[in-house]
Each structure stands twice: as structure tokens, then as C-alpha cells.
Structure 1
Amino acid sequence: MKKTLKKIASQLHLWLGISSGLVVFVVALSGCLLVFEDELEPVINKQFHVVNVVDGQPRLPLDVLQRNVARQFPGKKITRISFEPGADRTVVFGLKSGKKEKDIFSVAVNPYTGQIAGTRQENDAFFHVVLQLHRYLCLEETGKVITGISCVMFLVIMITGLVLWWPNRKNRKQRFTVKWGAKFKRLNWDLHAVFGFYTLPIVFIIAATGLVWSYKWVNNMIYITFDGKPQQKREAPANISLVPASQGTLEKIFTETNHQLPNPGRILMTIPESDSISITVSKADDHAAISNIVNFLYFGKNDARLISKRLYASETRGMKVRRLVYPIHTGSLLGWPTKIIAFLAALIAATLPVTGIIIWLGKKTKSKKTPVRAVGARRRAAKSKIVVEG
């Protein structure tokens, strides 16, 4: 029974690994980079994100910055404004640059001088390309299907790998330690099996949470399990103000947001094209024990009046659990410690298809040599028999 189970596990592990190996390698390696996106982005594109701060220099009103951007880029509508915590960070305006919602042209503005610090097409930004590679292999919906199927395969590969790894009395020590001084073949096997075992729980969780983006039914299962119903569509409330747009609306909204939510955190202001919908402002809570805690405020587009709130504390259990999926998947749940763990686990996961292929090729080469050796042995035995009989 055990031999049959291991044989089945071995075949599944081998052929699913060969089928999904390249995709797993690409997704895991790109995931390593995405773990530290928030830390690397302002380093890679410093001019776009960071400005020099002069002591005592006041920040210009947000509406002044908005008019400067609108004047320099006529014909493009501002759809969002983002603010990173920190006095030395630019204010980034997102302008719609195409027919699709994802076609965003970003303009970074120095909040103290009003000068344009940099511009870029978001679809061409480094980490956006890495994310597209991670989720879609840069193949859009086709790539999403491929990564989703490969993710399921990888989960099965990990389970079958654990079955094949499971030690007995004779090889228990070998299963838990890497023999660094061994020959390449043995060392490669240890790197695959031993490192695979130690990282299995973390990589399994990362892969399993990744299914939320691949399959809508997985996402809905979270809400059905914890709320008893599928995810409810959330929309910004109507903009009920009938008064004409007043001066300084955006600055008033920004000030009121920080008054309502005094904690530090990234602010994203979403400005709808329609005047009938209110402005949505989200603010992350960097003081929270875990990441991805976000509160929402809704303001009148003309008078900056606070219409309603959607605070994290009042969210459903399903929404709170769904909020946890992203930081668990990226390793940002508890900050640097979990990020480092996720980075190392993803890096090792990227090596598993490589070491696995080497193991397979080694066995394949050995199986080809074995019959030749057997024939040679039979010939030598026959010759010795003739000599004896002669």
C-alpha cells in the first residue's frame, strides 16, 4: 500500500512539476521582488518619489498643485491623487490616458514648489511589469488561466513531495540535513528535498492565498464562510451637493481626512468622472498591529462635506479576513520579519523546479546507461563460460 501510494505520488510530482516548472519559477522569482516593492520603489525611482525638504518651507495647497498639473497636461482628467507618509515624498497625480481604466499616466509633483518631479506611464513602470509577469505572465487573461492552473498544480506537487520526503528509520537524518560536502548529485537532491520541506508550510500558504486572485469562487468562499453570503459590491455614495464647486475643495478634503484619521498612512483620493458620485478617500493605518488596515471616507465633490465613513472596525468578518489575504500572500503581515521570511521562501521555491529538473535528468541518464551495462555484463559472462568449457 505504501509503495503504491509513493509510486502514484512520484508520478504526480514528476509530471506536474515538469508541466508547471517554468511558470512556478517565473511567478516565485517575480514574487521575491514584489515582497519589497514599497521599499525598493522610491530607491529605484528616487527622483519620481523623493524631494528635498527645506526647514520651514510650507506645503502648497493641494488645489494649487492640481491646477498646475491640469494646466500642463490639458485634455487629461485627474482620476486619483496619492500621498505617501513622509515630508520628503512627492504628491502623485494619476491621469486617465486611454480608454481603459488601467491606462494611467502618473505625474509626481513637488508639494513645496509645485514643480513636476517626474512623469511615467504606469503600465511601463518596473514594478507594474513585474506584477503583470507575476499574475498574468504578461499575457493578460490567458496568462491568468495559466498561472491559476500552475498554482493548483504546485499545491499538489508540495503534497506529493511531502509524501516522497517522509522519512523512515534509516534515512531520518538525511531528510533533515543538507550534506554540503557531498558530490553534486547528492547535494542537489538535498537542496531540493530538505529546503523544500522546511519552506513547505510558508510556500503552501503563499500559493493557496494566490488562488484568491486566480479564481473568483475562491474569493467568494471567504465571504460565504464568514458572512454567509458572497461579496457585496461597494460603491461610493451619491454626490448630493447641489452647490457650485468651491475653492480649495481638495485641500479641505485632505485636511479633514487627517483630522478624522490622524494615524500615519498612505492616502489615496479617487476622483470620479461623474459629478453625481462622491470622492472616495482611503487611508492606511500604519499604527495597526498588522498591515493592510484601511479606512474609507466619502466627500462631496463640490463642497468637501463628509458624506459617510466606512471604517475598518465596522467591516464584516468576511471583509476583514479578505483584507488579511494580501499581507499574508506578500509577507507584509507583520512588517520586516515576515517579509524576510516570505522573500527567502519564494526564492527557495524558485529553485525547486531547477533542482527537480536536474534530479529527473540524472535519473533519465542513469536509466539509459543501465541496459548497456547489463548487456555488457551478459556478454562478459558468456565469454568466460566459453573459456571455462573450452
Structure 2
Amino acid sequence: MATASKPRSQHPWYRTLQTIHLWVGLILCLPLVVLGITGSILVVDEELRGLIGDAPAKALADGPMQPVSAILAAARAAAPAGTQPGFLVLPEEPGRPATVRLVAARERGGERPQGPQQGPQPGLVGMLTIDPVSLVLVGGADPAQASGGFLRTVHLLHGNLLIRDRSGREVVGWLGVAMLVLGVSGLVLWWPRPGRWKAAFTVKAGARGIRLHRELHGAVGIWSLLVFLIVSFSGVYLAFPQTLGAGVSSILPARDLRAAVTVQPVKGAVPIDVDRSVGLARAAMPEAALRSVSLPARPDQAYRIGLVPAGQAHGAPGATVFVDPWTAQVAEVRDPAGYSAGETVIAWQRPLHAGEGLGPVWKWAVFLSGILPPLFAVTGTLMWWLKRKARRAKDAERAAALAAAE
């Protein structure tokens, strides 16, 4: 006579996976909820900016945008002592300010000043917002002020839990790993028995108690799983780009798209200015729109000019043109149209995480994935609590029955 196989829930591996899923979720529910909610807020930051006062307090001027050199000069004049412009992000449409990221000042030759320093130490930065037409400072007069504002605080909370050194980003990265563990283990635990597939995707009308929380937990989880896993994986990549980039490259060959281009300084030569570098980059991609400029931090670095190819969706990976300031030539062009499969995967991680590049459907899917951790935390915790309560009640009944029998 054949022996019926044990239900899956009675197998040791299933119980172990269930325990891992339960306690990872219970222990980390609060930081995971914080990451999810802050991520959703950042997805709709443009919609929220004007509502909460993070928009520029001053009205911006109408007219053509000033040259890049003029915007950087205005930022340099407004920058606190010990800082200088390092990176410029231009507005995508008229009526928006340009953003200038400040870095610790360097002497000519790219070295940091020696001796006691009164300004920011290495690694600390500030930001300024400049009207690209009138060149008036509209926000962030110093690094402390530049770090203020609700959305800026949300960004820091999501990126490093307000822990300023590298360890903050690493903690966030490992929380992303925990999300991946919860997602994959949840899929295995959810997997329905034959004949139960339709019911596994829904919540039965009239469900109450543990059944309601279990079905809600499972149904919402499976419908959102793909987006949840993509967003979680991309978050882990952004925290550990070198490690995961190397992993992707071992499967799908890819260059390190984050690497700078090294140039050879020419003794006695004068490097070209930023406006000429921008002109050379735009000539290399005439149909593309200028979006950002990264200034060389050392004499052996090239200008890094960010461009948006014509017809590209908002937030999709842009092109980068490196310009040699000593030879006045384009050193390298990194155009998404020519990326390998591995480079495409790597380049898309940030847009996917931010809900960009694939239109409004993807944006709102990512937004919803961020508000799901509170739902999972509540339903998961209630399932654990109600089961624990029921188990204790049964133990009390059993103990009372044994006492009565004595």
C-alpha cells in the first residue's frame, strides 16, 4: 500500500524557510518600512516639491540660459570658503534652476590645501541652486543649508539612514538583500497546491482573522513581486556597484560605466575651458541635449559631459562624452545606443530604482512597491501574533485538562 507523501508544510526545509522569512521580516520590519516609504516619496518628489516648500523661493528669470562657465562662476562666487563647484546639473525645461554640487577646494594641480583647513573636510559636500538665466543664487547658500529641506532629508534617509559615512549606504544595501530574501522566500512559501492557483491570487470575501491577513499578505505579495524584486535588486546594486557590476560583467561582458577617463597632461599647455569642452561634446552628439558637466578633479582627468539623446524617455540612461582638456579632443563617447547587454543592464539600474525611463506605468508601480512594506509588516506581524495567541490558548486548555484529570 502506497504511503501518502507528507504535506509540504511538514518538511524541515519548509519550516526552516518559514522561520527565516518570519524573523527577518519581524526584526527588520521598521527599517524596511522606512526605506519603502521614503523611496515612494522620492519617486513623486517633483509632484511634492511645490507642495512642501522645497521649490525655489525666488521667481526665475525668463530668457536664454547663460553659458556653463557663467553658471559655474556664479556658483563659485556664492560657494562657502573651502569649497568649489565640482558638478553641474542643468534643468530639463525652462523655469527650473541649475544645481551645482560643491566639493572641497583644491589647489592648482588638483591637490588639497596643506595645513589646518577651516572648510569642509574630504567627503563633505554642499549644493547650490542657481538661476541659469539671471545667475542669481536661489537656494543653498552653504553646505548645512543645502542639506536642509524635507525632500533632501528623505533622500539622505533613503540613501544612508542619515549615517554620513560609507557604512550608512552599506547598511541600506544589506537591507536590500533582506528584501530580496523576503521576496524569494515569500514566493516559495506562497506557491499553491494543485487546484489552488486561482484562490492564491485573491482574497476571499468575508475572510477574517489569520485567514484575512494570510491571503492579503500572499495575494498582494505575488501581484507586486516582480516590481518588488527589481527595485530591491537595483537598490542593492546602487549600494554595492562594484561588487554587483563585477558579477554582471562575469556573465554579460561590460565596461565599468562609472570609471573616469584618464588623460595625459601636456607640460606648458593651458587646458581648454569648460565652454569649449561642452561645445566639443555637443559636436560629437549634435542631436543630444546638454544635461550635466563634471569638472576634472585632477590634471589627469577629462571633462565628463552628460547628454540626453534625442527622443529618449525621461530618466532613461543618458550618454557621456569625455573631453581631453589638454588636446581639445573627444577622448571617449559612451552612448547607450552602443552599449553591450551587460552595460545596458548596469546602466538601467538607477532609472529602474527611481521609477524612471519607462513611462508613468512603471513610475507608479515603483511608487506602490514602496508603500507595500508597511502592509507586509502589519499583516505578517498580525499573523505571527494571532498564531502565538492561539497556541498559548491551546496550551492553557491542555494544561487545565491535565490538571483536572489529576
User: Which TM-score band (shorter chain)?
Assistant: 0.7 to 0.9
- The match for 1:10 is 18
Normalising by structure 1, report the TM-score.
0.81
Aligned counterparts of 1:35 and 1:283: Cα–Cα separation in 2: 22
Q: Work out which of the residue numbers 320, 331, 349 in structure 1 matches 2:355.
A: 331
Q: Work out which of the residue numbers 328, 333, 342 in structure 2 matches 1:310.
A: 333
Aligned counterparts of 1:49 and 1:316: Cα–Cα separation in 2: 44
Deviation, 1:195, is 0.7
Q: Work out which of the residue numbers 71, 75, 79 in structure 1 matches 2:77.
A: 71
Deviation, 1:115, is 1.8
Q: How does 1:230-269 map to 2 (within 5 A)?
A: 233-238=259-264, 240=266, 242-244=268-270, 249-263=273-287, 265=289, 267-269=291-293
Q: Work out which of the residue numbers 78, 87, 94 in structure 1 matches 2:94.
A: 87
- The match for 1:114 is 135
Moved more, 115-124 or 22-31: 115-124
CA distance 1:328–1:173, change in 2 (3 Å): same
Q: Secondary structure of 1:88's match? A: coil
Q: Does 1:136 align with 2:179?
A: no
Deviation, 1:52, is 4.3
Amino acid at match of 2:84: K
Q: Secondary structure of 1:283's match? A: strand
Q: Secondary structure of 2:127's match? A: strand
- The match for 1:24 is 32
Aligned counterparts of 1:281 and 1:42: Cα–Cα separation in 2: 29
Q: Secondary structure of 1:111's match? A: coil
Aligned counterparts of 1:81 and 1:222: Cα–Cα separation in 2: 30
Q: Secondary structure of 1:321's match? A: helix
Deviation, 1:292, is 3.3
5+ residue gaps, structure 2, are: 1-5, 105-118
The CA deviation string for residues 69-114 of structure 1, in whole angstroms up to 9 with x for no partner, is 3334474322222212212122333332555554223222223322
Q: How does 1:24-63 map to 2 (within 5 A)?
A: 24-37=32-45, 40-41=48-49, 44-47=53-56, 51-53=60-62, 57-63=63-69
Residues 37 and 370 of structure 2 are in contact (CA less than 8 Å); yes or no, is this contact kept in structure 1? yes
- The match for 1:227 is 253
Deviation, 1:187, is 3.0
CA RMSD of aligned residues (A): 3.5
Residues 200 and 218 of structure 2 are in contact (CA less than 8 Å); yes or no, is this contact kept in structure 1? yes
- The match for 1:159 is 184
Aligned counterparts of 1:22 and 1:59: Cα–Cα separation in 2: 45
Q: Does 1:285 align with 2:309?
A: yes
Deviation, 1:128, is 4.3
Normalising by structure 2, report the TM-score.
0.78
The CA deviation string for residues 96-152 of structure 1, in whole angstroms up to 9 with x for no partner, is 255555422322222332222222534445444333322432234444444344333
Q: How does 1:152-231 map to 2 (within 5 A)?
A: 152-168=177-193, 172=197, 174-179=199-204, 181-183=206-208, 185-215=210-240, 216-227=242-253
Deviation, 1:341, is 1.0
- The match for 1:386 is none
CA distance 1:333–1:302, change in 2 (3 Å): same
Deviation, 1:172, is 4.9
The CA deviation string for residues 9-63 of structure 1, in whole angstroms up to 9 with x for no partner, is 322222222233223222222221222345545665221697242xxx4444443
Residues 54 and 149 of structure 2 are in contact (CA less than 8 Å); yes or no, is this contact kept in structure 1? no
Moved more, 82-91 or 180-189: 180-189
Deviation, 1:357, is 0.9
Deviation, 1:222, is 1.0
Aligned counterparts of 1:318 and 1:31: Cα–Cα separation in 2: 26
The CA deviation string for residues 282-323 of structure 1, in whole angstroms up to 9 with x for no partner, is 1233622584322222335489x3432313144444322210
- The match for 2:373 is 349
Amino acid at match of 2:226: P
Residues 263 and 302 of structure 2 are in contact (CA less than 8 Å); yes or no, is this contact kept in structure 1? yes
Residues 50 and 90 of structure 1 are in contact (CA less than 8 Å); yes or no, is this contact kept in structure 2? no
Residues 129 and 140 of structure 2 are in contact (CA less than 8 Å); yes or no, is this contact kept in structure 1? yes
Residues 79 and 271 of structure 1 are in contact (CA less than 8 Å); yes or no, is this contact kept in structure 2? yes
Residues 42 and 48 of structure 1 are in contact (CA less than 8 Å); yes or no, is this contact kept in structure 2? no
Moved more, 84-93 or 180-189: 180-189
Amino acid at match of 1:35: V
Aligned residues: 376
Give me the identity figure in percent: 19
Amino acid at match of 1:86: E
5+ residue gaps, structure 1, are: 384-390
Aligned counterparts of 2:358 and 2:200: Cα–Cα separation in 1: 31
Residues 61 and 134 of structure 2 are in contact (CA less than 8 Å); yes or no, is this contact kept in structure 1? no
Moved more, 195-204 or 7-16: 7-16
